[in-house]
Structure 1
Amino acid sequence: MVLRRRFVSLAAVLATLLGGLGLSFLWQNDAEAHGVAMMPGSRTYLCQLDAITGTGALNPDNPACKAALNQSGATALYNWFAVLDSNAGGRGAGYVPDGTLCSAGDRSPYNFSAYNAARSDWPRTHLTSGATINVKYSNWAAHPGDFRVYITKPGWAPTSQLGWNDLELIQTVTNPPQQGSAGANGGHYYWNLKLPSGRSGNALIFMQWVRSDSQENFFSCSDVVFDGGNGEVTGIGDDAGTPDPTDPDPTDPRTPVTAWPSTPW
């Protein structure tokens, strides 16, 4: 297959990380571990899929993910679901600075600053303009609130800094249903999103999850391309580097995400 799958159990990841760092607990507290988009996959989510190995170590193939790991460190990537600001209170433009939307304004307990990098080689999800997709958003910790979904305006380029003026709000969803238990591998909120028509080429889908029971908000940046795709992902695993000569068609740029196992570790 084009996408190399290197998934291990969360327990293996924890054991490897904690043993290497001499820590007794990975997260500072439960309030700092919540969720980002899984479909279309956010930068932190897809980079951890690309990076995680059978031993729980991180060894990304994607060059953007590799650079992010080098800059922001392993702790951020192990906590891929914790891109948050505890005091955002639903604020966006004028509060979260341009160029820092993908790192929660650099106010997260972890350093996600590298995931703001304006570059064209982040892992991306292939979509069809005008289609309806089923969004999946990790429910690592479940809370009531709104999901605000934005997309970059036509003409935006992934090599330019992402700012609020680049975005248009296309949907707000309140308290969507969940599938799977909170804190469980693969557990997520889900809802349907009608994509804008008349789009082609690269774009970015930005989501801000605004809790209604606290001031805490969560931020998620998903790189997409409108090229007639149906949720396929490129830029991770073998697809991020040299094609595997054993693949049936190593020139095929897309691998369906539906081929992933139900426990993506």
Structure 2
Amino acid sequence: MPARRKAAVVAALGLTPLALTALAAAPASAHGTMGDPVSRVAQCYAEGPESPRSAACKAAVADGGTQALYDWNGTRIGDANGRHRSLIPDGKLCSANSDEFKGLDLARVDWPTTSVSSGPYTFKYRVTAPHKGTFKVYLTKEGYDPAQPLAWDDLDLDHPVATATDPTATGGYYTFSGTLPERSGAQLLYGIWQRSDSPEAFYSCSDVTFGGSGGSSGVGSESSASPAPSASAPSEEQIEEGEDESTVEHHGHGDQDADTSAEPTATESESTAAVPANEVRAAGATEDLAETGGDSSTAYVAMGGAAVLATGAAILFGSVRRRATSGGRGR
């Protein structure tokens, strides 16, 4: 084959791995928030982003807009890697220092609350894309004042009330147990989910009131003892209805992902073995999205671009081969 044609083939075939490399560098999706005790963002989403009922959620929308509520499962830092305190300044813990979610940082005494009491508590984390990792939940100290911006020193960081590593997601929730200490009045539970398969971490603020009845409130519970409106998590119907307005991932990157699951089952291994090698490499590049953050549309666009480039390379390679064969016959 002439040197010029050989160079063209090499250049064309080289585009495919470059496209897949670009795909791997694209950002990943968001994955969840505390469902019980319900987080501020989930509570406001449940009220309705366009017309929230509570004064606190109305103020959050006025300050940060409605998109944060549609993106309720996206309060995150893509490269946290355990550096939560150094990346999130005081006063911005509930938003994880994200301008989109700044309305969640408003210091108010009327955030809707979940009624709790000291003792065992079952936490439920609403997840739309499961990943391996560790959950830690911290409670504010005695003397916490919800009228002041939440600071790291307000949390009892030395004594998390719950810690769980790689719990199993069932029915859309990670469920794990903890113990709430003695407290009174308005307090706040701060949840951190640090993934172990990525530096990405997720954050949530759940307002609670001690002194009500019962230990675990249950998702969507009500309490007449709360000085603020009672909190309630969004229904599955509400979550499905809002997916089209969300800019983050609500499906995928689940427990069957190569990077996040346990060893594949025999069926999964056989299924993978039946896929052509080039498709397996493309799928692997898609999984790499989970390492860097972004929405699902990025994956489809990048994958489409990779497919076009791969197809073009194949066509060019075939054309060069035909020309080379035809030329050889003519000599």
Instruction: Report if TM-score (shorter chain) is over 0.5.
Output: yes
More strand by share: 1
The equivalent of 1:35 in structure 2 is: 32
Which of 115, 128, 134 lines up with 2:117 in the alignment? 128
- TM superposition shift of 1:234: 5.8
> Percent identity, aligned pairs only?
39
Assess, with a 3 A threshold, how the Cα gap between structure 1 residues 261 and 213 changes in structure 2: closer, same or farther: closer
8 Å Cα contact 2:45/2:70 also seen in 1: yes
| Distance in structure 2 (CA, Å) of the matches to 1:143 and 1:210 | 10
The equivalent of 1:202 in structure 2 is: 186
- TM superposition shift of 1:74: 1.4
Deviations 1:66-118 (A, max 9, x none): 11112211111101110001111111223211111101122xxx700110011
> How many residues are treated as equivalent by the alignment?
203
Q: Which consecutive unaligned segments of at least 5 residues does structure 2 have?
A: 1-25, 240-331
2:44 paired with 1:47: yes
Which of 63, 77, 80 lines up with 1:71 in the alignment? 63
Which of 182, 189, 212 lines up with 2:174 in the alignment? 189
Assess, with a 3 A threshold, how the Cα gap between structure 1 residues 59 and 40 changes in structure 2: closer, same or farther: same
Residue pairs, 1:109-128, within 5 angstroms? 111-128=100-117
| Distance in structure 2 (CA, Å) of the matches to 1:125 and 1:30 | 34
Assess, with a 3 A threshold, how the Cα gap between structure 1 residues 261 and 212 changes in structure 2: closer, same or farther: closer
Q: Displaced runs of 4+ in structure 1, greater than 4 A?
A: 260-265
Deviations 1:128-183 (A, max 9, x none): 12x21211111111110011111100000111111111111423210112112xxx
Assess, with a 3 A threshold, how the Cα gap between structure 1 residues 229 and 218 changes in structure 2: closer, same or farther: same
Residue pairs, 1:252-263, within 5 angstroms? 263=237
8 Å Cα contact 1:139/1:188 also seen in 2: yes
Q: TM-score under structure 1 normalisation?
A: 0.71
- TM superposition shift of 1:262: 6.0
8 Å Cα contact 1:82/1:218 also seen in 2: yes
More helix by share: 2
Q: TM-score under structure 2 normalisation?
A: 0.57
Residue pairs, 1:1-265, within 5 angstroms? 31-51=28-48, 58-106=50-98, 111-129=100-118, 131-169=119-157, 170=160, 171-180=162-171, 187-196=172-181, 198-230=182-214, 231=217, 232-233=221-222, 263-265=237-239
Deviations 1:187-236 (A, max 9, x none): 1101111111x21111000011101011111000000000133313469x
Assess, with a 3 A threshold, how the Cα gap between structure 1 residues 86 and 262 changes in structure 2: closer, same or farther: closer
Superposition RMSD on alpha carbons, in Å?
Answer: 2.4
Q: Which consecutive unaligned segments of at least 5 residues does structure 1 have?
A: 1-28, 53-57, 181-186, 241-253
| Distance in structure 1 (CA, Å) of the matches to 2:235 and 2:153 | 38
| Distance in structure 2 (CA, Å) of the matches to 1:233 and 1:31 | 35
8 Å Cα contact 2:163/2:178 also seen in 1: no
8 Å Cα contact 2:138/2:155 also seen in 1: yes
Q: Which amino acid aligns with 1:77?
A: L
Q: Which amino acid aligns with 2:106?
A: A
